[in-house]
């Protein structure tokens, strides 16, 4: 094999992690069984809103096998769970941050709110004992819809948040927007519900907490996307422990999609209790618990308006959104409908003036936080539904109205704070139209009409801000943490390389993609690179994986560390080759003296660094192990166009996806196979939102009605088509990989493409508006209503 064969950038290298998953050797949190461990069960509130008059655990404590039972009253010295992002309202006041107790204190605020941690010898004994806990509830009226929660007379959920309001926040130039609307030739208005979703990673949340008397330290295995952040929040803000005393390990994690970013009450209570019972404690959520207690996504109610001139040029956009927070502020809840939403309302367009006002509201439901896309799907849905409706109302073709408004000069400063570094929106639209055979659509529509079916074509030209985030900008916007990433490259004495990354893989294939980056840079076989992630005991630090940031931020941190390794390697090689450092080049795994055939292989230099017999010890430390922290200078801006074709059966209301074509620009791509897989998965979740999924709470009682896979419609294989996917490349201008991120694009672009197609199809039946999910029942009803 020649050295050049070791450069695998751009190749669909098969995944290094797959073998262990395929032979059943993956190690997920529920597979961890420390000796002598106990089992936890959480007693949860059956009521959406109630005062706790009294909790009696005496009978339960006497039950067989019980090791310990703890309620909120027992957690002395334990603080509430913090929120990581401070939003300042239009009134200049900080958002309302009511306490988020680890276990309920005097009140429960949603069905599933934790009451007691029951620890026993077996899971069944813990569950049986929990049934013996006597809780005396005074049931209060509940409110589950964010608009209802703002009405006067609505049940008051927190004393510290009058009217259930967390904040009202705004972005943009209101006066400029109002002036533009006043002179508009056409105004399009929509009322939009962005349906509440339940993330549903197939691995339920789980934790195993242990305490060691030997060092007064704790070890927590947990299903986390960001173990260092979990540790920081848990120790510094909640438990008051030295950070160094808790090791958090997120081993193989079975999907996250946002829901495993957050610090949850369960593992926090377990770490605290592990010292009290002095035995390891294990808990794995049942799926019913996941439905009740995982942070949910979306749940927006929006009124949106687009002002256009007579030629269909966008003049201004005005958006008012009410966003549910759920019963408590989850870790990043507050920034989702603000910083990750309103800032994306320019989309791919030159709309000169945008104003967005968001009111965040507490409701008697599970907390709402980031779910794949997080704010950006909601923004794209607003923008692209408006664009569709405006074009339809004005009689402009769907591609044409987009072209008339595309941004084509970069860098581009939007009126909503973001600076797009680069993009090529026409190229993705052109390619998607080719893939979707838009030219043949009229004939297909006519043919379908002969069969009594309604065909529709829908576009979605989305943009996202990824690579989260420049810490200084995030900090100015209210982030209470930095958002850099960390990479350590440890060259071992025999030339093998161990990479420690703060990014966390829970399906994304980092062990392969990052290995490709490292092996290609160092000119070594990919097998010689080992990627270590998900362990605060082994990795210097890290901010974790979310917001499609792993390659753009985490990958760049690894590149920066590699640069340091190569720089030190040059010094060592210069000594060994008795040449000037400036004359040493590093190429294809060799340090060469420029213009000569004298060289030292990478492995020889590594060995010299660890066996420094012939080594410049007076000028250079031995060893070859470098760490870099990388803080991005801007967000990255993946963008693309998705086109969906549907056929609706007006007799049954069934929407069938005939074709889904996606052309995305993710910047440079390391592994196309993995990127395609990410797009497929995102599209499935976006289509799930548009066609199938909807979290429903009973309006009166606050009970979760969609609390199992029998009631919550997850996309299954037969619901989905084979997607056509393609990419165009404009490299990101501000990271060395030129990478933008690909994890969320599908979930961001798909809902609007599908719903625009549904609206296009239903226009022939006189239907003006329908909300997600476009279930047969909802579609059929809309068709019937339009007849009358």
Partner 1 sequence: MSVALSLTVNGKAERAEIDPRTLLVEFIRNDLGLTGTHVGCDTGQCGACTVLIDGNAVKACTILAVQAEAAKVTTIEGLANNGEMHPMQAAFKECHGLQCGFCTPGMVLSAIDLVQRHPNADEKKIRAELEGNLCRCTGYQNIVKAVAQGAAAMRR
Selected from 300, 506, 521, 600, the binder of partner 1 by CB under 8 A is: 506
* CB-based contact 340:378 (threshold 8 Å): no
Look at the chain and count its residues: 788
Q: Which stretch binds partner 1 (CB under 8 A): 135-143, 207-215, 679-687, 779-787?
A: 679-687
* CB-based contact 105:72 (threshold 8 Å): yes
Q: How far apart are CA 364 and CA 603, in angstroms?
A: 60
Selected from 53, 189, 408, 716, the binder of partner 1 by CB under 8 A is: 716
* CB-based contact 516:449 (threshold 8 Å): no
CB of 324 to partner 1, least distance (A): 23
Cα-trace Rg, the chain: 27
Nearest residue to 638 via CA among 549, 519, 532, 505: 549
**Counting contacts by CB under 8 A, is residue 722 touching partner 1?**
yes
* CB-based contact 367:329 (threshold 8 Å): yes
SS in 3 state form for 574-593?
Answer: HHHHCCCHHHEEEECCEEEE
Q: Which stretch binds partner 1 (CB under 8 A): 182-190, 531-539, 713-721, 765-773?
A: 713-721
DSSP helix/strand/coil, 297: strand
Q: What is the largest CA-CA distance in the chain?
A: 91
CB of 718 to partner 1, least distance (A): 4
Question: What are the beta bridge partners of residue 656?
Answer: 647
* Residue among 473 and 684 whose Cβ is closer to partner 1: 684
Selected from 507, 589, 650, 667, the binder of partner 1 by CB under 8 A is: 507
Q: Count the Cβ atoms, other than its own, within 10 Å of residue 383.
A: 28
DSSP percent split of the chain into helix, strand, coil, nearest 5: 30, 25, 40
Q: How far apart are CA 253 and CA 205, in angstroms?
A: 9
* Residue among 458 and 681 whose Cβ is closer to partner 1: 681
* Residue among 547 and 688 whose Cβ is closer to partner 1: 688
Q: Which stretch binds partner 1 (CB under 8 A): 281-289, 591-599, 615-623, 647-655?
A: 281-289
CB of 3 to partner 1, least distance (A): 26
* CB-based contact 388:759 (threshold 8 Å): yes
Q: How far apart are CA 401 and CA 389, in angstroms?
A: 11
* Residue 339, burial from CB neighbour count under 10 angstroms (0-12, 13-18, 19+): buried
Q: How far apart are CA 726 and CA 25, in angstroms?
A: 34
Joined together, the tokens standing for residue 383 give 């923008």
Sheet of 639-649: strands edge to edge?
454-463, 639-649, 654-665, 724-727
Q: Which stretch binds partner 1 (CB under 8 A): 8-16, 611-619, 692-700, 760-768?
A: 8-16
CB of 226 to partner 1, least distance (A): 16
Q: Which stretch binds partner 1 (CB under 8 A): 171-179, 362-370, 541-549, 683-691?
A: 683-691
* Residue among 284 and 398 whose Cβ is closer to partner 1: 284
* Residue among 198 and 517 whose Cβ is closer to partner 1: 198
CB of 101 to partner 1, least distance (A): 27
* CB-based contact 591:602 (threshold 8 Å): yes
Selected from 25, 446, 449, 786, the binder of partner 1 by CB under 8 A is: 25
CB of 364 to partner 1, least distance (A): 24
Joined together, the tokens standing for residue 377 give 């799907």
Selected from 684, 758, 762, 772, the binder of partner 1 by CB under 8 A is: 684
Q: Which stretch binds partner 1 (CB under 8 A): 196-204, 360-368, 523-531, 753-761?
A: 196-204
Question: 716 Cβ partners below 8 Å, 6+ apart?
Answer: none
* Residue among 188 and 678 whose Cβ is closer to partner 1: 678
* Residue among 245 and 724 whose Cβ is closer to partner 1: 724
The interface with partner 1 within residues 122-161 (CB under 8 A) comprises 124
Q: Which stretch binds partner 1 (CB under 8 A): 11-19, 467-475, 604-612, 627-635?
A: 11-19
Q: Count the Cβ atoms, other than its own, within 10 Å of residue 46.
A: 16
Residue 333 DSSP label: G
DSSP helix/strand/coil, 423: coil
CB of 657 to partner 1, least distance (A): 12
Distances (CA, A) of 452 to 76, 572, 639, 650, 761: 67, 76, 36, 8, 12
Joined together, the tokens standing for residue 231 give 């540790």
CB of 259 to partner 1, least distance (A): 10
**Counting contacts by CB under 8 A, is residue 674 touching partner 1?**
yes
Selected from 3, 4, 10, 27, the binder of partner 1 by CB under 8 A is: 27
* CB-based contact 416:173 (threshold 8 Å): no
Selected from 511, 676, 744, 760, the binder of partner 1 by CB under 8 A is: 676
Q: How far apart are CA 24 and CA 107, in angstroms?
A: 43
**Counting contacts by CB under 8 A, is residue 620 touching partner 1?**
no
Selected from 41, 221, 637, 723, the binder of partner 1 by CB under 8 A is: 723
Binding pattern to partner 1, positions 733-762, x when CB under 8 A? -------------x----------------
Q: Which stretch binds partner 1 (CB under 8 A): 317-325, 416-424, 593-601, 714-722?
A: 714-722
* Residue among 26 and 98 whose Cβ is closer to partner 1: 26
CB of 444 to partner 1, least distance (A): 20
Residue 66 DSSP label: E
Selected from 15, 318, 533, 568, the binder of partner 1 by CB under 8 A is: 15
Binding pattern to partner 1, positions 369-398, x when CB under 8 A? ------------------------------
Q: How far apart are CA 538 and CA 543, in angstroms?
A: 14
The interface with partner 1 within residues 227-256 (CB under 8 A) comprises 252-255
**Counting contacts by CB under 8 A, is residue 652 touching partner 1?**
no
SS in 3 state form for 441-499?
Answer: HHHHHHHHHHCCCEEEEEEEEEECCECCCCHHHHHHCCECCCCCEEEEEEECCCCCEEE
* Residue among 362 and 712 whose Cβ is closer to partner 1: 712
Which residue reads 């794949």 in tokens? 372
Interface size with partner 1, residues (CB under 8 A): 58
**Counting contacts by CB under 8 A, is residue 266 touching partner 1?**
no
Selected from 8, 28, 301, 636, the binder of partner 1 by CB under 8 A is: 28
Calculated CA dihedral for residues 385, 656, 745, 677, nearest 10 degrees: 180
**Counting contacts by CB under 8 A, is residue 204 touching partner 1?**
yes
CB of 681 to partner 1, least distance (A): 5
**Counting contacts by CB under 8 A, is residue 367 touching partner 1?**
no
Question: 613 Cβ partners below 8 Å, 6+ apart?
Answer: none
**Counting contacts by CB under 8 A, is residue 488 touching partner 1?**
no
* Residue among 506 and 570 whose Cβ is closer to partner 1: 506
**Chain positions contacting partner 1, by CB under 8 A:** 12, 14-15, 17-28, 30-31, 124, 200-204, 252-255, 257, 284, 286-288, 506-509, 673-674, 676-677, 680-685, 708-710, 714-718, 720, 722-723, 746
């Amino acid at each position: 094999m020649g050295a050049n064969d070791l450069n695998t950038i751009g190749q669909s290298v098969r995944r290094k992690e797959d073998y262990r998953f395929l032979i059943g050797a993956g190690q997920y949190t529920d597979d961890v069984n420390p000796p002598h461990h106990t089992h936890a069960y959480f007693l949860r509130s059956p009521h959406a809103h109630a005062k706790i008059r009294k909790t009696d655990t005496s009978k339960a404590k006497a039950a067989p096998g019980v090791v310990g039972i703890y309620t909120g009253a027992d957690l002395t010295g334990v603080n509430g769970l913090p929120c990581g992002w401070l939003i300042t309202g239009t009134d200049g006041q900080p958002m309302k941050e009511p306490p988020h107790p680890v276990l309920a204190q005097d009140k429960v605020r949603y069905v599933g709110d934790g009451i007691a941690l029951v620890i026993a010898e077996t899971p069944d004994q813990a569950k049986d004992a929990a049934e013996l806990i006597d809780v005396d509830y005074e049931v209060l009226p509940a409110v589950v819809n964010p608009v209802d929660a703002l009405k006067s007379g609505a049940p008051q959920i927190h004393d510290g948040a009058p009217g259930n309001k967390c904040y009202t926040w705004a972005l943009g130039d209101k006066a400029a927007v109002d002036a533009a609307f006043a002179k508009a030739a056409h105004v399009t208005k929509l009322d939009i519900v962005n349906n509440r979703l339940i993330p549903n990673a197939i691995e339920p949340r789980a934790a195993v907490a242990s305490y060691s008397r030997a060092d007064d330290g704790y070890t927590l295995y947990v299903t986390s996307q960001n173990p260092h952040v979990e540790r920081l929040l848990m120790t510094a803000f909640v438990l008051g422990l030295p950070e160094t005393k808790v090791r958090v390990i997120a081993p193989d994690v079975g999907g996250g999609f946002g829901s495993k970013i957050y610090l949850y009450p369960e593992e926090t209570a377990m770490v605290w209790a592990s010292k009290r019972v002095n035995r390891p404690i294990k808990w794995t959520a049942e799926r019913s618990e996941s439905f009740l207690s995982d942070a949910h996504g979306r749940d927006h109610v929006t009124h949106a308006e687009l002002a256009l001139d007579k030629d269909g040029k966008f003049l201004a956009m005005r958006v008012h959104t009410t966003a549910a927070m759920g019963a408590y502020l989850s870790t990043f809840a507050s920034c989702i409908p603000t910083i990750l939403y309103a800032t994306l309302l320019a989309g791919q367009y030159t709309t000169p003036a945008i104003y967005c006002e968001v009111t965040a509201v507490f409701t008697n439901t599970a907390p709402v936080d980031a779910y794949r896309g997080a704010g950006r799907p909601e923004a794209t849905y607003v923008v692209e539904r408006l664009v569709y409706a405006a074009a339809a109302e004005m009689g402009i073709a769907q591609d044409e109205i987009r072209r008339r408004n595309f941004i084509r000069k970069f860098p581009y400063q939007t009126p909503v704070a973001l600076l797009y570094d680069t993009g090529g929106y026409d190229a993705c639209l052109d390619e998607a139209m080719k893939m979707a055979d838009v030219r043949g659509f009229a004939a297909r529509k006519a043919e379908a009409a002969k069969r009594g079916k309604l065909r529709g074509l829908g576009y979605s030209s989305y943009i996202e801000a990824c690579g989260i985030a420049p810490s200084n900008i995030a900090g100015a916007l209210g982030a209470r943490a930095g958002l850099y990433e960390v990479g350590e490259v440890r060259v071992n004495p025999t030339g093998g390389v161990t990479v420690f990354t703060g990014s966390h893989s829970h399906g994304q294939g980092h062990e392969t993609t990052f290995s490709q980056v490292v092996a290609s840079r160092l000119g070594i076989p990919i097998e010689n690179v080992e990627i270590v992630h998900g362990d605060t005991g082994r990795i210097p630090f890290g901010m974790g994986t979310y917001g499609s940031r792993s390659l753009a931020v985490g990958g760049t941190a690894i590149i920066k560390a590699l640069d340091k390794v190569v720089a030190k390697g040059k010094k060592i090689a210069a000594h060994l080759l008795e040449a000037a450092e400036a004359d040493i080049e590093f190429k294809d795994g060799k340090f060469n003296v420029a213009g000569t055939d004298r060289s030292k292989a990478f492995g020889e230099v590594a060995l010299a660094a660890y066996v420094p017999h012939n080594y410049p010890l007076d000028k250079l430390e031995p060893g070859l192990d470098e760490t870099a922290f990388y803080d991005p200078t801007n967000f990255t801006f993946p963008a693309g166009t998705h086109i969906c074709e549907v056929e609706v059966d007006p007799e049954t209301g069934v929407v069938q996806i005939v074709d889904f074509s996606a052309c995305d620009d993710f910047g440079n791509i390391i592994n196309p196979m993995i990127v395609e897989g990410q797009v497929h998965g995102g599209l499935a979740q976006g289509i799930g939102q548009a066609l199938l999924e909807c979290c429903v709470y009973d309006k009166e009682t606050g009970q979760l009605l969609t609390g199992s896979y029998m009631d919550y419609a997850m996309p299954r294989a037969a619901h989905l088509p084979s997607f056509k996917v393609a990419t165009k490349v404009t490299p990101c201008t501000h990271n060395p990989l030129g990478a933008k991120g690909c994890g969320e694009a599908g979930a961001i672009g798909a809902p609007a493409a599908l719903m625009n197609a549904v609206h296009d199809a239903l226009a022939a039946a006189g239907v003006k508006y329908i909300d997600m999910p476009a279930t047969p029942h909802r579609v059929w009803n809309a068709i019937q209503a339009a007849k009358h």
